[in-house]
Amino acid sequence: MKLAIISVTNQGALLGNNLAEKLSKLGKSVDIFAKVGRNPLRHNTYELLSTLVHSVFSQYDGFIFIMATGIVVRVIAPYIIDKRVDPAIVVMDDCGKHAISLLSGHIGGANELTTLIGGLVGAETVITTATDIANKPAADMLAVKLNLTIEPFEQLKSINAAIVNGDNVLFFLDKAISHQDFYYQEAAKLGIELIDLSNIGSNDFDAAVIISDRLLSLSISHLYLRPPTLAVGIGCRRNTTSEEILAAVTDACSRIGRSINSITTIGSSVIKQNEPGLLSVIQQLAVPSIFFVNEQLEKCIEENQLEVSNFVKKEIGVGNVCAAAAILAGQTNKLLLPKTKYKNVTVSIAQVK
């Protein structure tokens, strides 16, 4: 977690230095910023807080502001976007008496950072998220701990509200997902009992949180936490639009009953590594991409006896891009969807090892 500590007084700068030393010993990457003229230890300096925040807000995972809360609220307001992407914001007074989790308590990690800071410098922690105050597990905290994607995100608020209000919200785990022990152990640390998804019909509950990559049909209030299980291989003609490629990928996932939010990587040929439409889709899905050379693709085709297109081979020197890329990207030989042709796109999906 890359952190920035920003102070406005001499005493705050000293506290920031002390805190940075302790955080660094725990493996945290920390930069310190102190106001010009109030920088006794010669750290990075700034003249206007608003200018500094404008320039660095997107560069850090979390900020520790040592100053009045009102100042922080005003200075970060223009840059707050969404709890899925906003950094953790923690505020401290320059005497180190209080540490306040101000923004992105769960997904951004501000609550956890606040608790850590309180332990390091003896500050009283102030955390106001309802699930934490009620000492109840939040669905987004589980998502963060297990590296899961929340779907649909708009449903998170009502699910967490149901948990806080004491409704019977059950957490289910799809047995088809790998690394079961990890899921059970991490959930238990948050006080969450995971129930086998196959038993969902035999339980009486008000709402459900479901860890699965499958598309299910449920009438009761529910939230999915999508695990990273799918590697998608893509081939496309030159200048194919991002809209067409994304539509093909969405349809391909639907064909195998899986969520597009479970895609963890996209593979293709190096010949396509500068294709604007493909790069746009990779950016929209916010997943890593791997572009393979023909020798890698050809070897995979031979080992897995994949279908070959003579036309494609003539055009780019290898007869199958999408299926071979999916297998290589997923480091597996288990194809969930073989090469599937669309107008200008081919898609294949593999189960990640």
* Residue 39: predicted pLDDT: 83
∠ CA 8-14-16, rounded to 5° = 70
* Model pLDDT for residues 230-261, shown as the tens digit of each residue: 999 999 999 999 999 999 999 999 999 999 99
* Residue 309: predicted pLDDT: 84
| DSSP per position, 172-203 | EE-TTSS-HHHHHHHHHHTT--EEEGGGGGG-
Q: Please give the structure tokens belonging to residue 51.
A: 């200018």
Mean pLDDT on 309-324: 87
pLDDT beyond 90 at 135? no
State the DSSP code for 214.
B
pLDDT beyond 90 at 307? no
Q: Please give the structure tokens belonging to residue 85.
A: 């992407």
Mean pLDDT on 201-229: 94
Closest to 36 (Cα-Cα) out of 44, 45, 28, 27: 45
State the DSSP code for 271.
G
Q: Please give the structure tokens belonging to residue 290.
A: 């791997």
Residue 65 three-state SS: strand
Residue 147 three-state SS: coil
- Counting runs of H as helices and runs of E as strands, what totals does the chain give? 13, 17
**170: number of Cβ within 10 Å:** 19
Mean pLDDT on 60-77: 97
Domains and CATH numbers, the chain: 2-128 (3.40.50.11220), 139-226 (no CATH), 230-351 (3.30.420.180)
Say if residue 51 is exposed, middle or buried (CB neighbours under 10 Å; 0-12, 13-18, 19+). Answer: exposed
Say if residue 120 is exposed, middle or buried (CB neighbours under 10 Å; 0-12, 13-18, 19+). Answer: middle
* Residue 50: predicted pLDDT: 97
| DSSP per position, 221-256 | EEEEEE---EEEEEEE-TT--HHHHHHHHHHHHHHT
In percent, the amount of the chain with pLDDT more than 70 equals 100
Task: Give the alpha-carbon dihedral of 179, 349, 227, 212, to 10 degrees.
Answer: -90
Sheet architecture: strand order including 88-92: 44-46, 29-35, 2-7, 62-66, 88-92, 98-103, 124-126
Mean pLDDT on 189-215: 93
